[in-house]
Structures are given as structure tokens and as C-alpha cells.
């Protein structure tokens, strides 16, 4: 995964200067907080979070619809396998 280094904040820096994290989110759309030299957390504004949640829900619905269609299309085979 590629991360813009300008968006990175250490856990220590985030704890001591959270306004820096907020400023990054306001200016760049997100901030990446590192823990033990690894990207651990992403901070986004609430509108972005809502969009991410909506995409996740849409993906879940699509997966469920696909699973339902596979089951419906192959119900006899599944019944035979269940014996």
C-alpha cells in the first residue's frame, strides 16, 4: 500500500498534538497514524466515513444477492449435497 508521507503522524505526536491530526484531515482529507512504525489508524472526516460505510453496506448487499441467486439457481444440487 502506498501512503503519502505528508499524511503520517506518529502515535506519540497524535497524542500530544491532536490538532495536527485534525488539521491534516481538514486539509488533506485523512491522516494516517503510525504505531510501532507501521500504519495502524486512518482518521477521516465524518462525511468520508459515511461514504465508506455506504460502500461497505452496498458491497454486503451485493454479496448477499449473489449468494441468494446462486442458491436459487442451484437449489436442487444443494438439496442433493445435503443428503
pTM summary value: 0.67
Q: Which architecture, in CATH terms, is 1-44?
A: 3-Layer(aba) Sandwich (3.40)
Reading the block at residue 80, the C-alpha cell is 442433493
Examine the pLDDT at 2 and tell me if it is beyond 80.
no
Taking residue 69's Cβ as centre, other Cβ atoms within 10 Å add up to: 10
Cα-trace Rg, the chain: 21
- Domain spans in the chain, listed from the N-terminal domain onward: 1-44, 45-83
DSSP β-bridge partners for residue 47 = none
pLDDT tens, 22-80?
999 999 999 999 999 999 999 999 999 999 999 999 999 999 999 999 999 999 998 88
pLDDT value of residue 76: 92
Band the pLDDT of 3: cuts 50, 70, 90.
confident
Q: Please name the residues in contact with 39: beta carbons below 8 A apart, sequence gap of 6 or more.
A: 1, 3, 8, 32, 33
Amino acid at each position: 500500500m502506498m501512503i503519502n508521507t505528508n499524511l503520517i503522524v506518529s502515535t506519540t505526536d497524535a497524542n500530544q498534538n491532536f490538532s495536527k491530526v485534525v488539521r491534516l484531515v481538514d486539509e488533506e482529507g485523512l491522516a494516517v497514524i503510525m504505531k510501532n512504525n507501521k500504519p495502524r489508524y486512518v482518521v477521516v472526516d465524518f462525511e468520508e466515513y459515511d461514504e465508506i460505510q455506504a460502500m461497505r453496506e452496498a458491497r454486503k448487499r451485493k454479496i448477499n444477492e449473489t449468494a441468494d441467486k446462486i442458491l436459487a439457481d442451484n437449489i436442487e444440487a444443494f438439496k442433493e449435497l445435503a443428503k
